[in-house]
Amino acid sequence: LIDQVAQLLIDRPEASMSTAAHAISELVDFCNPNVVKVVTDARQMALYFSRAPIPWWRDGQTAGNPGGDAFTQLPSPPPLRHVGIYAYRAGFLAQFPLLNPAPIEQLESLEQLRALWHG
C-alpha cells in the first residue's frame, strides 16, 4: 500500500499529495461517521472527504424517511472508504502545516480537507 500511494505521486506530477481508498462493501460502514468517505473525479482525484454517507444516494433511502440516513442498500458504483495513509511532495509537506485550517476541515475534523480547500 505504501508503494502504491508513493507511485501515485510519480504517475501524477500535478499532485502535491496522494492517499488511498477502497470500495465500501457494507452498508453499516457507509453510514458510520467514523468511516471517512471520499468522492473522486474521473481521474481518481479527490473531490471531497466526509464522515457523512457520500455520495448521498437520494433514491437509496428507506421509504418514508426523506432526508434521513436509513439507506436500504449501497449505491452503485460503491462508495469509497478513505484509508488514512498519505504521501507528500517535500515542498508541499513543508508548506502544509503553515496553511490555515479550513472551515470544512474544522467541521468534519479531517485534515485532508485543508489541502483541498487551499488547492
What pLDDT was estimated at residue 77? 86
What pLDDT was estimated at residue 56? 81
pLDDT digits (tens, 9 = 90+) for 107-118: 999 999 999 999
Q: Is residue 22 within 8 Å of 4, Cβ to Cβ?
A: no
What pLDDT was estimated at residue 65? 52
Distances in whole angstroms, Cα of residue 88 to Cα of each of 8, 15, 20, 49:
10, 9, 13, 18
Q: Which residues of the chain have pLDDT under 70?
A: 60-70
* pTM attached to this predicted model: 0.85
Instruction: Give the DSSP letter string of the chain.
Output: -HHHHHHHHHH-TT-SEEEEEEE---HHHHH-TTS-EEEE-TTS-EEEEESS-SS--GGGBPTT-TTS--BSS--SSPPEEEEEEEEE-HHHHHHGGGSPPPHHHHHHT-THHHHHHH-
Residue ranges per domain, the chain?
2-88
